[in-house]
Amino acid sequence: MEWGYMGKVPSRGDFIVQGLPGELRERWFEWCQAALAVSREQLGEQWLDAYLTCPIWHFAAGPGALGEGGMIGTLIPSVDRVGRHFPFLVAGPHDGTLLDAWRQPEWFSAMEERVLAVLEDDWNESLWYRGLDGITGPTAEVNRLQWPDGEGNLMLPGEAREEDWLTAVFGVRRGRVLWWTQGSAFVEPATLLTEGLPQVGQFAAMIAGQWREHGWRQGVMVE
């Protein structure tokens, strides 16, 4: 698995980046810059506490969302040595569906432990990067349904199973991203589905909750 990373860490005085495609780096940097600025305005004095306790977010991006191919990754809040805040991202290519990544917790459980190590004062960047090779990404499950290219309404054959429907909903349309987290002090465990990266005005909910207030259509479980 060819992992890369970018962002800020407490042991460094500036931005670091390694091994990520240029298109992803540019798109991610611009989105993070804007999302941080807008969320500061939205949350005011609450922002710093919400950001520093932001939950770990994992994601699976379909082709066209962050580049031509699919991507998976993990995002944590971080800060550099002089106190400038910017998230730290680890990401790599993914050939399977969004649900393949979501259904296989082994890779993102291992990634959580690995990515949190960057917050240590004695973090060894080169040794840590070599250790990423030991994290195996999710395997692509056999997809029984094949779809023609393009947009439009969908028809599934009568023998389609529940997992086939889920694959259709989550995986057919280009540019979708599936996000999930176990939550934090401010944010309940959640799964998100977005068209590309979330709108910058919606990022505040990812660090502070308050989903409806920040433009998310929030599902409600009914007893």
Read off the CATH number of the domain in which 31 is found: 3.40.1730.10
Report if residue 223 sits inside a domain: no
Torsions phi, psi of 9, nearest 5?
Answer: -135, 155
What local confidence, expressed as pLDDT, does residue 184 receive? 93
Residue 181, domain member (yes or no) = yes
Beta carbons of 177 and 62 less than 8 angstroms apart: yes
Neighbours of 170 (CB within 10 A): 18
Let me know if residue 14 belongs to a domain: yes
> Residue 14: phi, psi to the nearest 5?
-155, -175
- For residue 188, being part of any structural domain is answered with yes
What pTM, to 2 d.p., does this model score? 0.89
pLDDT at 163: 64
Q: So what's the pLDDT on residue 141?
A: 62
Give the Cβ contact number of residue 31 at 10 Å. Answer: 17
What is the pLDDT, as a whole number, of residue 151?
61
List Cβ neighbours of 127 (8 Å cut-off, separation of 6 or more): none
Domain assignment present for residue 110? The answer is yes
Run means of pLDDT, 10 residues per run, the chain, 223 residues: 93 94 93 98 97 96 89 96 97 87 89 95 94 83 58 61 63 80 93 94 96 88 69
Whether residue 160 lies inside any domain: the answer is: no
Domain limits at 103? Answer: 4-140+166-214
pLDDT for position 182: 95
Closest CA to 9 of 109, 91, 74, 78: 78
The answer as to whether 154 is a domain residue is: no
The reported pLDDT for the residue numbered 154 is 62
Instruction: Give the pLDDT score at 83.
Output: 95
Number of structural domains, the chain?
A: 1
Label residue 209 left, alpha or beta by phi (over 0 means left) and psi (-120 to 50 means alpha).
left
